Structure 1
Amino acid sequence: MTDQELETDYLVIGAGAGAMAFTDALLAHSDATVTIVDRRHAPGGHWLHAYPFVRLHQPSAFYGVHSVPLGEDALDVMGTNAGYYELSGADELRAYFARVMQRHFLPTGRVRYFPMSEYVGEHRFVSKLTGTSWHARVRKKLVDTTYVEGSIPATSPPPFEVAEGVRCVPAGEIAYLGDRPERFVVVGAGKTALDSCVWLLEQGVDPSAIRWIKPRDSWWANRRFRQPHTMLPEFYRGISLQLEVMARASSVEELLTDLEAEGYFLRIDPQIVPTMWRGASLGEAEVGLLRKITDIVRMGHVRRIERDEIVLDQGRIRTSAQTVHIHCAARGLRRLPPRPIFEPGRVTVQPFLLGFVCYQFAMLAVVEATIANDEEKNRLCPAISYWNVNRDYLSAFLATLTHDRARKAYPTVANWAKSTRLNPMAGLAQYREDPRVIEAAERIARVDRTVAANLKRLIDSDQG
């Protein structure tokens, strides 16, 4: 079959949150044309498959694309997020990204969108429904937003064997159970597992009916320090707390436990030293709920679930046919070796700072559109791996500090960062007279020159 031909400045692979944020900023800072190819039926990436009770773990105000606000900037009055700014759920996010595409991208006449299409390489893609194949003549660059794409339980099989007759379902399916299980076994230690446990408890499931299998424990950022608008001074105070502790800590463990003492970091079990850090945030009310679950299994990863027992790295535990096993053990974001983000004919979207995903991926588009030299772009935005262990928190923070000053030398990039709603600090100026902001600024000034050097020392000493 002969390929159909099209011309475009940028060919964007993927239509998830990062791709949408990148495209939005590219449209705003250039006159480029963009072709978006995605294997899913609608924009939104993994949100199309997300479990029904999922919500953002960051305020809606910082998520999505710059040009279209998300949510109503309302404070939640009920549930575990009460008193904090709203967290959009899966339904709202799916509708939001569809609206961005249909009402904002496509009407520009500069965006073409091919859902249900598989990118097969060399600027070719094929419709999964009709078999029609296209070849794009790309005038500028291919933008790959799938390099570090994650996997989720809804679309990934369990990373363990499941015997015939065992009830094992991905997290989302527990909202559709047709009968009442005898017990629930939650397998996984990440945000999906936490959300599943919290949801079960909120539905009135007795904590004693929940067993939680997790191979390791994690640190979580306290959501109190990640709030917009009227709570932005507390966000800024959280930054000052981090910098102050980073300047004085003598070890990675001391740094993390000191930040816990300041209320910035949370852990579920105060008796267990966490070895994982994934950058997610959690509320204190959620921690209170999760601590009601006392049947915690820490025997490594699950290897196999039989009808009457679960086999783990370090032993076996009993189970039953009346138990529902909840698969929350997908890999999550990929931790591939970083490659240059900007190359001739290519942008490989990856993290480069410790910040909200939509903010930093939109910034990549601003850098792409306004700076000519790829080498300089990579100097300003050097790729880093997604975080996993405690040391990664320090490495990501150090990368943020190191290159933030370099980006400020470019007025277009710096002015965009000061104005975009995706950047939490963009609105801080209106609170500059707040005593918490004044005090935090003074604390930051006192340690500003020593933080980077101490972080580097801590990272180097923790390599083993």
Structure 2
Amino acid sequence: MAIEEYETDYLVVGAGAAGMAFTDALLTHSDATVTIVDRRHAPGGHWIDAYPYVRLHQPSAFYGVSSVPLGQDALDVAGTNGGYYELAGADEIRAYFAQVMHRHFLPSGRVHYFPCSDYLGGNRFVSRLAQESWKVRVRRKVVDTTYIEGTVPATSAPSFEVADGVRCVPAGAITRITERPERFVVIGAGKTALDTCVWLLEQAVPASSIRWIKPREAWWVNRRFQQPQALLPDSYRGMAIQLEAMARATSIQDLFARLESEAFFLRIDPGLAPTMFRGAVISEAELELLRRIEDVVRLGHVRSIGRGEIVLDEGPVSTSEGTVHVHCASRGLPRPPLRPIFETGRVTVQPFLWGFVCYQFAMLGVIEATVESDEEKNHLCPPIAYWDANTDYLSAFLATLANERARAAYPALANWAKETRLNPFSGLAHYRDAPNVVEARERIKRFGAAAVGNLAQLLRTSAAQAGGIRDAN
């Protein structure tokens, strides 16, 4: 096998949204050269494997790389996103990242891209197709975007046993069904399962023909409060709603109740208290559709599927050979041990803010390019785990507020945050005199400091209660 050697400033492992956003920031804010290595055949990360009907959670305006817009900034006029700004689908996102790579990155002359290649560690990678491998002298850092890489049902086998003869397929496969099944069983409690249920209902599948197996109930963020441009004042009002609720809440349960009363958070079943919080965003129109599904099974996780029976943690339910079981359950976003994002010779990409992944991953690239020491960089963005439980929302929000205060001392970073399209509030100056923006600004000033203190207290109380329960057991 031939071994080639060459030099680069940064070796970026992964050409998904994180690697692309980080690289774009380096190209804009430094003179660095970048080598991108990815196992997939095209840039886009998990979007390459996505199911056909998936769309972004948040508007296209907030996604991708900072220097290349995504979408047309158009309002949808029909469907479950009607009245809100467009949500790019899988095909559009794949085409977008290909455009960024081939019309922006590569023509710069500062980026080398190696698809279909496995990174082996030690600054070495190998082609999956050719008899070639590379040894790279990295002058600055290796950027690892795979530390928090999630799994998707399309590329991961079910975590449960499936008997011979049972029709069990990942979410994308239902678009290719040629014979109408007796019914559908959707397995999973996350966004993939939700999207699958919504898509089936939009295809005129009767709600009575859908069974939804959910091991947990989730909170969902109302898309109304994550909008750009003309609808940005409502998003800003959402910030005021959150801070006031955080300042006034007497418990974590009370906080979620207050936010639900303002329709900031949504839940599908009003009679059940959600324990899962992944930060996924839905519209109220989607919520109405999902509430039509009455056959909901809450008996824990699926253990196995036989020809006539589905076995779950807490008992069995019946099924049939004419049923299509849709596998929407996977590990999702991982929660590995936290490590410093910036180290000598290494950047380990991890979340450090609440929500809007491309904004924060691009910010990491700006920080790397404009801030001197790794110690300063890590002070700006201590990592947090991806959110999964209700308490994670509080700790992630606190981290966001702390980051905003810290970066105020770095003019280049603060100015970039005000201007980049990836920041959901970057265009707020255009609406500063709108009555609802003025009112929201006053609420934020009034409740901001109290919210920080009360969030910290609520988290301490929750930790003490959890410790007491463990001691009692």
Matches within 5 A, 1:315-354: 315-354=315-354
Quick check: 1:225–1:264 contact (8 Å CA) kept in 2? yes
For residue 471 of structure 2, what is the aligned residue in structure 1? none
SS of the residue 1:401 aligns to: helix
| Counterpart mapping for 1:371-450 below 5 A | 371-450=371-450
Checking the alignment, whether the CA contact within 8 Å between 1:302 and 1:312 is kept in structure 2 is: yes
- Alpha-carbon displacement from aligned partner over 1:81-129 (angstroms, at most 9, x marks no partner): 0000000000000000000000000000000000000000100000000
Matched, 1:12 2:37: no
Residues 402 and 452 of structure 1 are in contact (CA less than 8 Å); yes or no, is this contact kept in structure 2?
A: no
Aligned residue for 1:205?
205
Question: What is the CA–CA distance in structure 2 between the aligned matches of 1:404 and 1:338, rounded to whole Å?
Answer: 21
The answer to whether the aligner puts 1:59 opposite 2:59 as a matched pair is yes
- Give, as a single letter, the amino acid of the residue that structure 2 aligns with 1:319: T
Cα distance in 2 between the residues matched to 1:448 and 1:100: 38
CA distance in 2, matches of 1:266, 1:229: 23
Regions of 4+ moved over 3 Å: none
Given that 2:153 and 2:170 are in contact with CA atoms closer than 8 Å, whether structure 1 keeps it comes out as yes
> In the TM superposition, what is the alpha-carbon distance from 1:2 to its structure 2 partner?
5.0
**TM-score when scaled to structure 2?**
0.98
One-letter amino acid of the structure 2 residue matched with residue 362 of structure 1: A
Alpha-carbon separation, structure 1, partners of 2:352 and 2:385: 8
Distance in 2 separating the partners of 1:450 and 1:83: 34
1:211 is aligned with what amino acid? R
1:107-126 matches, cutoff 5 A:
107-126=107-126
Q: Distance in 2 between the 1:201 and 1:448 partners?
A: 41
Secondary structure of 1:449's counterpart equals helix
Residue 355 of structure 1: how far off its partner (Å): 2.8
SS in 1 for 2:372: coil
Displacement of 1:131? 2.6
- AA aligned opposite 2:96: Y
Give 1:313 shift. Answer: 0.3
CA RMSD of aligned residues (A): 0.6
Q: Look up the match of 2:239.
A: 239
Q: Encode CA deviations 1:278-322: one digit per residue, 9 max, x unaligned.
A: 011110000000000000000000000011000000000000000
Matched, 1:226 2:226: yes
Aligned twin of 1:153: 153
What's the CA shift for 1:461? 1.3
Q: Tell me the CA shift for residue 402 of structure 1.
A: 1.6
Q: Is the 8 A contact 2:279 2:355 kept in 1?
A: no
Question: Quick one: distance in 1 between partners of 2:120 and 2:462?
Answer: 41
Paired residues of 2:2 and 2:131 also in contact (CA < 8 A) = no
Q: Secondary structure at the match of 1:448?
A: helix
Is the counterpart of residue 279 in structure 1 residue 252 in structure 2?
no
Take 1:352 and 1:75, find their aligned partners in 2: how far apart are those partners? Answer: 30
1:346 aligned partner, one-letter code: R
Residue by residue, what CA displacement relative to the aligned partner does 1:219-259 show, whole Å, maximum 9, x if unpaired?
A: 00100000000000000000000000000101111100110
1:3 aligns with 2:10: no
Counterpart AA for 2:84: Y
- Deviation at residue 450 of structure 1 after TM alignment: 1.1
Say if 1:147 and 1:350, in contact at 8 Å, map to a contact too.
Answer: yes
C-alpha offsets along residues 54-98 of structure 1, whole Å, 9 cap, x if unaligned? 000100000000111000000001110000000000000000000
User: Structure 2 matches for 1:43-82, cutoff 5 A?
Assistant: 43-82=43-82
Tell me the SS of whatever aligns to 2:119. Answer: strand
Distance 1:451 1:343 in 2: 32
Deviation at 1:460, TM superposition (A): 1.4
Question: Partner of 1:268 in structure 2?
Answer: 268
Structure 1 window deviating more from structure 2 (387-396 vs 442-451): it is: 442-451
Letter in 2 for 1:356: F
Gaps of 5+ in 1: none
Counterpart residue number, 1:29: 29
1:461 counterpart = 2:461: yes
User: In structure 2, what is the Cα distance between the partners aligned to 1:276 and 1:355?
Assistant: 16
**Within 5 A, what are the aligned runs for 1:182-193?**
182-193=182-193
The equivalent of 2:469 in structure 1 is none
Q: Distance in 2 between matches of 1:30 and 1:403?
A: 22
The Cα shift of 1:462 comes to: 1.4
Give the letter for the 1:412 counterpart: A
Q: What is the number of residues matched between the two proteins? A: 464
Unaligned runs of 5+ in 2: 467-473
Task: Identify the residue that residue 138 of structure 1 maps to in structure 2.
Answer: 138
> SS state of the match for residue 444, structure 2?
helix
Query: Is the CA contact (8 Å cut-off) linking 1:277 and 1:388 kept in structure 2?
Result: yes
- Deviation of residue 262 (structure 1)? 0.6
Secondary structure in 2 matching 1:136: strand
The alignment partner of 1:154 has SS state of helix
- Supply the distance in 2 between the matched residues of 1:77 and 1:270 (Cα, whole angstroms): 28
Normalization by structure 1: what TM-score?
Answer: 0.99
SS at match of 1:426: coil
